[in-house]
Structure 1
Amino acid sequence: MSNKLLVRRAAVLGAGVMGAQIAAHLTNAGVDTVLFDLPAKEGDPNGVVTRAIANLGKLSPAPLAGKGLAARIIPANYDDGLELLKDCDIVIEAIAERMDWKQDLYRKIAPFVADHAVLASNTSGLGINALADVLPEQLRHRFCGVHFFNPPRYMHLAELIPARTTDKAVLEGLETFLTTTLGKGVVVAKDTPNFIGNRIGVFSMLAAMHHTEQFGLGFDTVDALTGPLIGRPKSATYRTADVVGLDTMAHVIKTMADTLPDDPWHKYFKTPKWLAALIEKGALGQKTRAGVYTKKGKDILVLDLKAQDYRASTSELDADVATLLKERNPAKKFAALRASQHPQAKFLWACFRDTFHYSACHLESIADTARDVDLAMRWGYGWSMGPFESWQAAGWKQVAEWIAEDIVAGKAMSTAALPDWVFDGREGVHTSEGSYSPARNDKVPRSSNPVYARQRFPDPLLGESFPQGHTVFENDGVRLWADEGDDIAVLSFKTKMHTVNDHVLNGIQEAIGIAERDFRGLVIWQPKEPFSAGADLSGALGLLQAGDLKGFEAMVANFQATSQRIKYSLVPVVAAVRGLALGGGCEFQMHAAHTVFALESYIGLVEAGVGLLPAGGGLKELAVRASDKAGATGDVFAELKTAFESVAMAKVATSAVEAKELKLARDGDTVVFNAFELLHVAKAQALALAESGYRPPLPARNIRVAGDVGIATFKMLLVNMLEGRFISPHDYEIASRIATVICGGEVDKDSLVDEDWLIRLEREHFVALAQMPKTQERIAHMLKTGKPLRN
């Protein structure tokens, strides 16, 4: 039997916050999706769902990758829509967390679920086996739990929870679908309350709450301690609780109290008094605009328990503790934390100690391996390292002794002994052979599911490394490498944020020459985000301030030459983009034979923000595309309008799908949902182009432009904005020059020009803007603050 899950259409049951967002993400991925809920009491029976779909547009961050996608979701209700289920290949149930409601719904839909379809419950903690028990015999082997994290588009983690009856092939097929189609990082969990991510994650929050009180710290101080300083998200502890919703938090804590009576930490599974009081007042966090934090005008206030009122948030971090946390060596850092007498350091050591203790004691019951726990915490909670990685990095044996000492001394939250395997002489749980599994008492390698062959560089755990390929060519800006016997070479940038300087420009040109000679294609790909934050502004400003106009012009000309080299390479150059691709980074992918985008690609020609215009061939390329689209007779100006607005307003696409809408990506470019598969797909595209007899495009000689009429029309729009004070006079200056270049200069409407003409225009206007004091102010301000200046 094939374990391939073929999904033409999906159904999501429940149009609440999670259900609607899961439906949105399925739609992002091109899956035809039906969203169900109860019939409305009056009016359109699908009213509940249509309102939920409309609400998707208001959520931030946006669940939909493109504005028009909401209309693709099919609304339905349980009274007259169940026939639609017969065509669905996967059914995801996401109704409220009540066992009786879920079971009633399963009885109702069972007769309509197709014989081959997979049924999955998106529960965050209810028993999967208990849910399976109410299903008819023929459905049980196709049922399991799949737990998406909120928000489903952005959180990488999806926990897969098999029931006792789940067919292995069904699980493998679902894991493949979640990984490639929806772009998720899948962790298989055991059927225990709250599974892996929330079991460890909520415990770590409860531990932080307990120690906040014990050491008398303010909520804002704890957030300053438990955020990026220790490799956790900015929302840290209490801000996370506000975002999740304090009522939701209390509900999860109650679930732990009810379902884990034998947990040695059970006495801590209760809602703190202050949390219950906030909930009673209706202060539920972000959704009610007040919780642990609230906003007053522009100020952020934090709850002060002593004063029983909000005060200005200060987050006083002790200078010594802050210095201690900057220590690069984890062993030294943990030793210093444990030795320190400062309440802030004692608080942190206690939080780490109790989370390590809890994770070790529960590993065997909740997961197969330590890897599953660490990846769940990284992908579901945004930790830079999971608990076992942190422990191992700090020195496994030493930390284990310290935890044991604290347990004996009555300092730990529980007297439960650490499991024997912790002390069997090991140096940790992760090795190059695999990750430790207490149940098997063995090191278990990564999953052998064929879907993972698509990940050349998976997210590495501590102690894991993946072969880097052999270096073909390297300079100070780039590295060109390939795998043994491979026809496609890969080019990666070495600069900070992958910005573009002379070394990168010269390196790209040299690499393309090598690829033409020795390979069949070239992929531009970065091992880490971003793709490229654009030109190296400090270098450019240096040349201008030194008055080296010749050097500055030469740099711009070299940039343009590099883009043209990418476009006219004799082997296909494919750009593999994820994260930011701004300015020159965006222009490089515009010149590639093809671009493969990760869904989370944020692309923009943002030069206007620093007082410049795109001059790496971007405007030229937009003019060429408009001419091609309009053909011999169409309206070139109409094709330019969206592109002009994108550039003049320095818009950044919030997804690869939106990049196409803004005309910064081509309609035919590929969008990949799993960033770890990006390199695999890009290499396959390059090979496919080579196999089909690739030739670069012929030089564009007859480009039809919008000319003086186009420029005048754009300027009319700009004058209105200037008079309405929406833009400054310098904004007007920049945008007018962008209009001039994109329309092909002051020539007659529908004149024919060539690429060189457009490239020269780009360069002239770029150099003219660069010499203006207001532009230089903008560049300096951006370099200093990272924010654009409106002058």
Structure 2
Amino acid sequence: MSEKLLVRRAAVLGAGVMGAQIAAHLTNAGVDTVLFDLPAKEGDPNGIVNKAIANLAKLSPAPLADKALASRIVAANYDTGLELLEGCDLVIEAIAERMDWKQDLYRKIAPHVPSHAVLASNTSGLGINKLAEVLPEEMRHRFCGVHFFNPPRYMHLAELIPAKGTDPAILQGLEAFLVTTLGKGVVTAKDTPNFIGNRIGVFSMLAAMHHTEQFKLGFDTVDALTGPAIGRPKSATYRTADVVGLDTMAHVIKTMADTLPDDPWHKYFKAPKWLSGLVDKGALGAKTGAGFYTKKGKEIMVLDLKAQDYRPSGAELDPDVAALLKEKDPAKKFAALRASEHPQARFLWACFRDTFHYSAFHLKDIAETARDVDFAMRWGYGWSIGPFETWQAAGWKQVAEWIAEDIVSGEAMSNATLPDWVFDGREGVHGKDGSYSPGRDAMVPRSTNPVYARQRHPDALLGEKSSQGRTVFENDGVRMWADEGDDIAVVGFKTKMHTVSDQVLDGLQEAIRIAERDFRGLVIWQPREPFSAGADLSGALGLLKAGDIKGFDAMVANFQRTSQAIKYSLVPVIAAVRGLALGGGCEFQMHAARTVFGLESYVGLVEAGVGLLPAGGGLKEFAVRASEAVGPHGDVFSELKTVFETVAMAKVATSAMEAKSLRLARAEDVVVFNAFELLHVAKAQATALADGGYRPPLPARKVRVAGDVGIATFKMQLVNMLEGRFISEHDYEIATRIATVLCGGEVDRGAVVDEEWLLRLEREHFVALAQMPKTQERVAHMLKTGKPLRN
């Protein structure tokens, strides 16, 4: 049985960018956290840390899931606060990357770290065994490296690096904590410089830089080639360098040169002349406003080496190369890349070849299995598939032969031979028995750590397929399925972006009927993000253009029927949300018995942005909740202020926690940090409610509303905004109608209405807005550009 790591309180040493953000994410996860740094030279001794905590609110993307959490972080310094370590179960050191500084700090804290606590160094490449040397003998078995990727809230990867003396039970406990509590994807790395992610990732960038010169391509052309066109992030190569900071990039390259003297690719571990030149000039990328790219007004400019100046950026892929990259069959694509004479295609083949070569050559030294390398590149660098998966998909044997030919002919960056295992007759490194480990010369299955039992659909590697259960019901909009012998069913949408079409509405109603008859609960869950981008606007616009107002009204009524079916289902319906849950997608989760949110859920009723108002029961639900919250004698209007602003301004929550403060989620809704655990938790919630003898709420027949006085109060705010030109006439029109529905229409303040009345109001105002030319312009603009129109 592995040792369970119980973390009630944690400490982070070092309040720099990384340390402060790690402390923020621990706090997001509900861990009581102390953040340490040096004492300030004057004033409050905790001044440095307090400044770092205040700065968290200014960073983008936001490290805190809710700004209010900043006040929960405890500030401390190494002179007066070390006794605070005595109550900690986990200590993460995240000071600057200097061996001597880190070791000095360990000597200082050792007497205060409790005998049960785990000490981890967040280093991106310093030797873990070397760091451990200064620790007292009794602490060494509880020490290891944990490398978070930046920014720690959003980057899925955490590398776990054991030292020689680390107790395996400690590692297993820490891995479980990282996976479930902090939501990370963990790979275990060996104690080698830069570990896995940065070793392969920085090499692939160096290879791209080397081949940029070799094939005489522009920096923007290389970015066009090495971004989404090959399944990599938009920032590609040179934009990434600008974001990271060119000085940081040069430092990382120098570290590789200093720490890897025997690497066969060592001669390439130096910053190209143009990179050093930019650093010398102080053009360090995004933080100084200029690097490989800069902005002139609104125009993005790119550095042109020949002209020694910036020119407008706008490099296009060669049409033939772009067509070649769209080829679905990886084997055909790679054959075409290798055969092409075009410099862009030759550049890409060279980059792939050298990264494959490097990854295979070093696999045994840096990682336990090929799976760890592929996941490190996916989770840490945002590649859609890792280097070994790419190679295997393209035809292992053929690509291996091509690499070998290029090594012999001197085309490859290094003449190091590929390891023997590459040519042992294999078809690849991933298979049904696991992934290849050169150290053990065997296929190694995924980790047996019990934490992974919570991942019903883990991130699948090439060739892995998790069963989607048996199909219970399916139409063109949804598929309902269940695991063999399970009494909780799951339903997902088949539409693009999981938008809500007529087939989705009809399918959901049917799924609920089947669940009531044959199951104990139903979970609405999508195998991939988003949860739902809302109603299918193009279908709606079609009905309006054809003048079919009756059909349009019927569609809205069907939407409302579906939301009500979710709310009043006789078995609990749980919404499992991650990614976008907008418009109708947000309304569905509002009607569920409970919602389980992934932390990174972006939730909002955004209809106002396209000139409409929420009419899938969302406004009705807010009015009902307000009435229930204040009881028979309270002030209903006070409960509506936040939601009116949320809806009228089409606000989108930037985390599940913010969704709660915007009232788009309920206090009792559950937040899960690891998106791969979402389905497990949602099914557990459904089971718990069913076991508790679930009954749906009774119909809301007596809803007290804010009435005409509430509407008038909201309109006063709107008139001020209109006169101050903060909103347009059409915005005023939409917001007034939102206020009218939220307040229950032009009835007396405190009047009692029922749900049907509120739903009818929603429908009437939605249909009225939909017929207005300005709304139709907004809808058409959104469909065409994906951006809201302010008219």
CA distance in 2, matches of 1:75, 1:291: 36
Structure 1 regions of 5+ residues with no counterpart?
Answer: none
For 1:79 and 1:476, the matched residues in 2 are separated by 66
Distance 2:564 2:189 in 1: 50
Q: CA deviation at 1:379?
A: 0.2
Counterpart-to-counterpart distance in 1, 2:500 and 2:370: 40
Residue by residue over 1:550-604, the C-alpha shift from the partner in whole angstroms, topping out at 9 and shown as x without a partner, is 1111110010011000000000000000000000000000000000000000000
**What are the equivalent positions in structure 2 for 1:170-569 lying under 5 Å apart?**
170-569=170-569
Provide Cα deviations, 1:728-774, integer angstroms capped at 9, x if missing partner: 10110000000000010011111111111100100000010011111
CA distance, structure 2, for counterparts of residue 478 and residue 314 of structure 1 = 41
Distance 1:306 1:44 in 2: 53
Q: Report Cα offsets for 1:292-345 as digits up to 9, x if no partner.
A: 111111111111111111111121321111111111111111111111111111
**Rounded Cα–Cα distance in structure 2 between residues aligned with 1:269 and 1:668:** 53
Residue 7 of structure 1 pairs with residue 17 of structure 2? no
- Once the two structures are TM-superposed, the CA of residue 701 in structure 1 deviates from its matched residue by 1.2
Whole-angstrom distance in 1 between the partners of 2:296 and 2:630: 52
C-alpha separation in 1, matches of 2:399 and 2:153 = 37
* Match of residue 757 from structure 1: 757
Give, in whole Å, the separation in 2 of the partners of 1:32 and 1:245: 32
Range that drifts further, 756-765 or 277-286:
277-286
Determine the structure 1 residue equivalent to 2:62.
Answer: 62
Mapped partners of 2:626, 2:751: distance in 1: 13
Hey, what's the Cα distance between the residues in 2 that align with 1:218 and 1:316? 10
Do residues 31 (structure 1) and 47 (structure 2) align?
no
**What is the match of residue 96 of structure 2?**
96
How many equivalent pairs are there? 791
State the partner residue of 2:78: 78
- Aligned to 1:83, what secondary structure does the other structure show? helix
Counterpart in 1 of 2:581? 581
Q: Is the 8 A contact 2:2 2:172 kept in 1?
A: no
Question: Partners of 1:555 and 1:316 in 2: how far apart?
Answer: 43
Amino acid at match of 1:735: A
In structure 1, how many angstroms separate the alpha carbons of the residues matched to 2:641 and 2:743? 10
Query: 1:135 is matched by which residue type in structure 2?
Result: L
Aligned-CA RMSD value:
0.7
- Cα distance in 2 for partners of 1:202, 1:766 equals 53
- Please give the alpha-carbon distance, in whole angstroms, between the structure 2 residues aligned to 1:75 and 1:754: 51
Whether 2:683 is the aligned partner of 1:683: answer yes
TM score, norm. by length of structure 2: 1.00
Q: Secondary structure at the match of 2:481?
A: strand
Cα distance between partner residues in 2 of 1:51 and 1:279: 28
Deviation at 1:2, TM superposition (A): 4.9
2:52 match: 52
| Equivalent position amino acid for 1:284 in 2 | L
Cα offsets for 1:413-458 (capped at 9, x unmatched): 0000000000011110000111000111100000000000000111
Partner SS state of residue 575, structure 2: strand
Deviations 1:698-720 (A, max 9, x none): 11111111111110111111111
Cα distance in 1, alignment partners of residues 37 and 749 from structure 2 = 55
1:135 corresponds to: 135
Match of 2:610 in 1: 610
2:790 corresponds in structure 1 to 790
| Partner SS for 1:485 | coil
- Cα separation, 2, equivalents of 1:753 and 1:115: 63
Q: Which stretch of structure 1 is more off in the superposition, 275-284 or 650-659?
A: 275-284
C-alpha distance in structure 1 between counterparts of 2:690 and 2:25, whole Å: 33
The 1-side partners of 2:501 and 2:755 are apart by 24
1:70-106 residue CA offsets vs partner (Å, 9 max, x unmatched):
1111111000000000001000000000000000000
> 1:164, 1:787 → 2: CA distance?
54
Match of 1:768 in 2: 768
Partner of 2:121: 121
Write the distance in 1 (CA, Å) between the matches of 2:74 and 2:704: 42
Q: Helix, strand or coil: the match of 1:295? A: strand
Q: How many Å separate the matches in 2 of 1:304 and 1:44?
A: 49
More displaced stretch, 274-283 vs 467-476: 274-283
CA distance in 1: counterparts of 2:183 and 2:707, whole angstroms: 44
Deviations 1:273-303 (A, max 9, x none): 1111111111111111111111111111111
Q: Hey, what's the Cα distance between the residues in 2 that align with 1:636 and 1:335?
A: 68
Q: Distance in 1 between matches of 2:424 and 2:74?
A: 56
Shift of 1:357: 0.2
The aligned amino acid for 1:312 is P
Question: 1:703, 1:288 → 2: CA distance?
Answer: 57
Show the counterpart of 1:158.
Answer: 158
Identity of aligned residues (%): 84
- Partner of 2:148 in structure 1? 148
CA distance in 2, matches of 1:480, 1:567: 18
Aligned partners of 2:287, 2:633: CA distance in 1, in Å?
Answer: 53
What CA deviation, in whole Å up to 9, does each residue of 1:254-281 have, x standing for no partner?
1100110000000000111111111111
Matched residue of 2:55: which SS? helix
Query: Residue deviations 1:666-696, cap 9 Å, x none?
Result: 0110000000000000000000000011100
Structure 1 stretches (4+) deviating beyond 6 angstroms? Answer: none
Secondary structure of 1:97 counterpart: coil
In structure 2, C-alpha distance between the alignment counterparts of 1:437 and 1:634, rounded to whole Å: 66
Residue aligning to 1:729: 729
Cα separation, partners in 2 of 1:2 and 1:424, compared to 1, 3 Å: closer
Letter in 1 for 2:259: T
Is contact 2:226-2:236 (8 Å) kept? yes
Choose 293-302 or 370-379, whichever is displaced more.
Answer: 293-302
> d(CA) in 1 for partners of 2:261 and 2:2?
42
| Cross-structure match for 1:620 | 620
The residue aligned with 1:717 is 717
Amino acid at match of 2:752: L
* Partner Cα distance (1:44, 1:57) in 2: 21
1:10-36 CA-partner distances (Å, limit 9, x unpaired): 100000000000000001101110000
Mapping of residues 734-745 of structure 1, within 5 Å: 734-745=734-745
Amino acid across the alignment from 1:734: I
Query: What is the CA–CA distance in structure 2 between the aligned matches of 1:770 and 1:457, rounded to whole Å?
Result: 40
Following superposition, the deviation at residue 632 of structure 1 comes to 2.1
TM-score, length basis structure 1? 1.00
Q: Which amino acid aligns with 1:507?
A: G
Q: Partner letter of residue 709 of structure 1? A: V
